[in-house]
């Protein structure tokens, strides 16, 4: 192909059958650079990428030239006709309030190293936003998770994205050392009688998310008998070390529930190596309390369960900005800054 330069013409379209190997090569570039920043390791076997290529080709045939396949969006960026970048999107709605918008999760955005700085990344993001708003027939909120060491933070901020949520990670759970929990705090699996206290913590979580600009989830709901009943029924189905997600809570010396979180452990799909990824989400804390002792109790407890389920690391998501009490509490529990979630509202053209 001709030398890559800003005079080459950039286009964005759906992937075509036969481009699977090129796209698998782009994914490999993406995963390898993420691995160099400490993310989950991918396979080095050529056969793993041949399988990815075959799956992408099969998917492109089903797409028939459309970027949308159900709620899955897939686009490639070409330079003078050659695919040199790609992005996927997953469109979903996390709630049922009319105030909760559709979300499009930006996934696996990558431009080949030799074609960076020529506008392909921006063209892919913009086209993904257009496709998402077309699919949902209205505004959608685009969301991407960016690892802390990734220089792409500037790329996203230039595209109008801002951080709305933060993630910290405990590496090597088997060697996890944090200050011993305060003896007055008691972490445990939630039970149905916690429903009312959990509903209060959920409301404080919902308010915090909205205050941070994280509009992916419902605003605080009215706490009524229907809500409490539904929560109690859900908790009734959970049992110690049972099916995911595991709802965990911590109480103080007076047995008052002070913080809660949901623990998920799930295996990563090939071509990632078969490791289990553990994530704490929905971190709800009593807004009037210092969260430090409660996270110091919850994190080792979650780490213990996650280890039982075969995970070796634990991500703590849903955090507030660095320097705030909740973020500091996560770091005090033995985690380190891991990633941030950036988002932008995309309006129909």
Residues 221 and 227 sit within 8 Å (Cβ to Cβ): yes
Find the part of the chain contacting ligand COA (CB under 6 A) among 62-70, 117-125, 218-226, 328-336: 117-125
Q: How many Cβ atoms are within 10 Å of 240's Cβ, its own excluded?
A: 9
Q: Of 315-344, which residues contact ligand COA (CB under 6 A)?
A: none
Please give the Cα distance from 258 to 268 (Å, whole number).
32
* Residue (6 or 255) nearer to ligand COA, CB: 6
Per CB under 6 A, contacts with ligand COA among 11-40 are: 30, 33
Nearer to ligand COA, 18 or 117 (CB): 117
Residue 75 binding ligand COA, by CB under 6 A: no
> What is the spatial distance between Cα 279 and Cα 258, in angstroms, rounded to a whole number?
20
Tally Cβ neighbours within 10 Å of residue 14: 18
Residues near ligand COA (CB under 6 A), total: 20
Helices in 37-119 by DSSP H: which ranges?
46-63
- State the alpha helices, DSSP H only, in the chain: 20-36, 46-63, 120-136, 152-158, 195-211, 225-236, 292-308, 325-332
76 lies in the site for ligand COA, by CB under 6 A: no
155 binds ligand COA, rule: CB under 6 A:
yes
Which residue number, 134 or 150, has a Cβ lying nearer to ligand COA?
150
**By the 8 A CB rule, do 84 and 11 touch?**
no
Q: Is 111 in the site for ligand COA (CB under 6 A)?
A: yes
Could you tell me which stretch among 64-72, 107-115, 185-193, 289-297 binds ligand COA (CB under 6 A)? Answer: 107-115
Q: Which of 27, 34, 41 is nearest to 272 (CA)?
A: 41
**Beta carbons within 10 angstroms of residue 276's beta carbon:** 15
Q: Report, in Å, the least distance between residue 146 CB and ligand COA.
A: 5
**Residue 166 interacts with ligand COA (CB under 6 A): yes or no:** no
**And the tokens for 59?**
């998917």
Q: Report how far residue 66's alpha carbon sits from residue 84's, in angstroms, rounded to the nearest whole number.
A: 19
Closest CB to ligand COA among residues 72, 210: 72
Identify which range of 130-138, 142-150, 243-251, 291-299 contacts ligand COA by CB under 6 A: 142-150
- The 3-state DSSP class for residue 190 equals coil
Helix (H, G, I), strand (E, B) or coil at 290: coil
CB nearer to ligand COA: pick between 116 and 210: 116
d(CA 298, CA 343) in angstroms, rounded, equals 28
* Interaction between residue 118 and ligand COA (CB under 6 A): yes
Instruction: Tell which residue, 282, 290, 302, 278, has the closest CA to residue 326.
Output: 290
User: From the CB of residue 281, how many other CB atoms can be counted at a distance below 10 Å?
Assistant: 15
Least distance (Å) from ligand COA to the CB of residue 346? 16
Choose which of 144, 173, 198, 303 interacts with ligand COA (CB under 6 A): 144
Stretch that binds ligand COA, among 113-121, 227-235, 256-264, 304-312 (CB under 6 A): 113-121
Question: How is residue 36 written in tokens?
Answer: 């160099």
Token digits of residue 208 = 């915090």
Smallest distance from the beta carbon of 100 to ligand COA, in angstroms? 24
Provide the token pair at 200: 């209060």
**Residue 117 is a binding residue for ligand COA (CB under 6 A):** yes
In angstroms, what is the minimal distance from the CB of 294 to ligand COA?
31
Q: Is 164 in the site for ligand COA (CB under 6 A)?
A: no
> With binding defined as CB under 6 A, does residue 146 bind ligand COA?
yes
**What's the closest the beta carbon of residue 72 comes to ligand COA, in angstroms?**
18
- 143 lies in the binding site for ligand COA (CB under 6 A): no
User: What are 75's strand-pairing partners?
Assistant: 87
By the rule CB under 6 A, 107 interacts with ligand COA: no
- The yes or no reply on residue 120 touching ligand COA (CB under 6 A) is yes
Question: Contact positions toward ligand COA, by CB under 6 A?
Answer: 30, 33, 109-111, 116-122, 144, 146, 150-152, 154-155, 158
């Amino acid at each position: 192909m001709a030398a890559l330069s800003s005079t080459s013409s950039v286009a964005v379209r759906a992937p075509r059958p036969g481009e699977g190997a090129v796209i698998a090569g782009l994914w490999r570039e993406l995963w390898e650079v993420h691995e160099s920043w400490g993310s989950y390791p991918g396979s080095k076997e050529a056969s793993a990428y041949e399988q990815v290529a075959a799956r992408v080709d099969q998917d492109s045939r089903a797409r028939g030239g459309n970027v949308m396949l159900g709620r899955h969006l897939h686009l490639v960026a070409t330079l003078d006709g050659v695919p040199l970048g790609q992005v996927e999107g997953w469109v979903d709605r996390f709630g049922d309030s009319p105030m909760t918008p559709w979300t499009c999760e930006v996934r696996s955005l990558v431009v080949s190293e030799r074609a960076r700085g020529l506008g392909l990344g921006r063209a892919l993001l913009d086209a993904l936003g257009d496709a998402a708003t077309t699919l949902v027939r209205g505004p959608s909120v685009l969301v991407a998770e960016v690892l802390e060491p990734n220089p792409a933070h500037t790329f996203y901020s230039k595209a109008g994205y801002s951080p709305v949520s933060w993630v910290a990670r405990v590496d090597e759970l088997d060697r996890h050392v944090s200050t011993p929990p305060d003896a007055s705090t008691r972490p445990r699996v939630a039970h149905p009688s916690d429903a009312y206290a959990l509903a209060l913590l959920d409301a404080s979580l919902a308010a915090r998310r909205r205050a941070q600009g994280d509009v992916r989830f419902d605003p605080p709901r009215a706490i009524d008998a229907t809500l409490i009943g539904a929560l109690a029924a859900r908790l009734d189905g959970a049992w110690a070390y049972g099916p995911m997600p595991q709802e965990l809570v911590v109480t103080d010396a007076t047995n008052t529930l002070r913080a809660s979180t949901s623990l998920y452990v799930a295996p990563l799909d090939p071509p990632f190596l078969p490791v289990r990824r553990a994530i704490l989400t929905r971190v709800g804390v009593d807004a009037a309390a210092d969260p430090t002792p409660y996270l110091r109790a919850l994190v080792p407890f979650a780490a213990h369960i996650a280890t039982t389920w075969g995970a070796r690391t634990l991500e703590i998501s849903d955090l507030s900005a660095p320097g705030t009490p909740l973020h500091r509490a996560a770091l005090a529990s033995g985690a380190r800054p891991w990633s941030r979630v950036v988002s932008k509202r995309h309006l129909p053209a």
